Structure 1
Amino acid sequence: MNASRRFTVVEHLSNEELDDAIDVAQKADETRLVRRLCFVKNLYEGKTQQQAGAAVGVSQPTSSRWARAWNQDGVEGLRPRFGGGRPPKPTPAQWDEICTLLEDGQPWTPREIHALIEDRYGVTYHPSHLARKLRASGMHYAKPRPMDPRHPADAEEILAERLGQALGEDTDEDEEDPVVLGFFR
């Protein structure tokens, strides 16, 4: 039972027009369209879908899909509709713009940064990835504090008192030559 099913190909273009379409697609650097048009050329030469698909390196289901697309819409039916891959992320120029906005409008919370990027560019990042991208750009999340909250209000007085105790004398602020301590390795 060696019945090979032949597929009826609608000849939207003549052989010469098909060759011209392949040349135009090659010049336009549309490699995926060139491959599909070569598949159709093999069908024009009388090959089965499976043989034509094998000649350009695609599976039988893909060759059936391409043949149906050719019969329905011709060259436009074979033109790839999706570029593939992940959705685009901000370009380097857009990322520089984001960094400038973040530097100018400080302070920002991580949530506000996510909202800004999503609203302005339609791009979402995982929080840890966004933190990595910001660090790579020289930015870091930090809580803006005018002073260290662990710092006691009378820190200078405490230092003066402890310094006097360490030197074994009472320090007097009116002295001509104050004692200066340094720490060396």
Structure 2
Amino acid sequence: MVKTEQIQIKRHLTVQDLSKRIKHLEKDTTVLKRLYFIKHRYNDKSVEVASDFVGVSKNTGYIWQERWNEGGYDGIIPKFAGGRPSKLTASQKEKLKKILEDGGNWTTKDVQLLNFQEIWCRI
């Protein structure tokens, strides 16, 4: 038998806003981890030992050290870029955005299954 919650949680943020904040803080912890690595290196720990302390491979440690040496603090900030190019044109992206904003609870799978030829004709 499942016990009902005695105290309900207040929703101060939307799920989307909460997810955005979590994602932002995850990036900050990534930088923090790299700074700890650099601090261990400043304290004369080897790359291997410093990497082990922060839980990354020795190879990753060398990459972080190289980025630090070349760019300082800015060098260790993750640069999330690239990825697979979109199959949609800019115009198609705008149309899709309008469709999704008009309502409905769309899942990623729903959007993938859309028949774009039919949709583009209606807009």
TM-score under structure 1 length normalisation: 0.35
Q: How many angstroms does 1:50 deviate by?
A: 0.6
Which consecutive unaligned segments of at least 5 residues does structure 1 have? 1-27, 100-108, 117-185
Is residue 2:61 matched to residue 1:63? yes
CA RMSD of aligned residues (A): 3.7
One of 24, 38, 44 as aligned partner of 2:36 = 38
Q: 1:54 to 1:112 in 2, by over 3 A?
A: same
Q: 1:57 to 1:83 in 2, by over 3 A?
A: farther
One of 37, 46, 59 as aligned partner of 1:48 = 46
Task: Write out the 4+ residue segments of structure 1 that deviate beyond 2 Å after TM superposition.
Answer: 83-87, 96-99
| SS, match of residue 45 in structure 2 | coil
2: CA distance, partners of 1:98 / 1:110: 17
Q: How many angstroms does 1:46 deviate by?
A: 0.4
- Paired amino acid for 2:73: V
Q: How many angstroms does 1:60 deviate by?
A: 0.9
1: CA distance, partners of 2:82 / 2:36: 21
Q: 1:95 to 1:66 in 2, by over 3 A?
A: same
> Computing the radius of gyration over CA atoms, which structure comes out larger, 1 or 2?
1
The structure whose residues are more often helix, as a share, is 2
Q: How many residues align?
A: 78
Larger relative contact order, structure 1 or 2 (CA cutoff 8 Å, min sep 6): 2
Which consecutive unaligned segments of at least 5 residues does structure 2 have? 1-23, 86-92, 105-114
Is residue 2:95 matched to residue 1:97? no
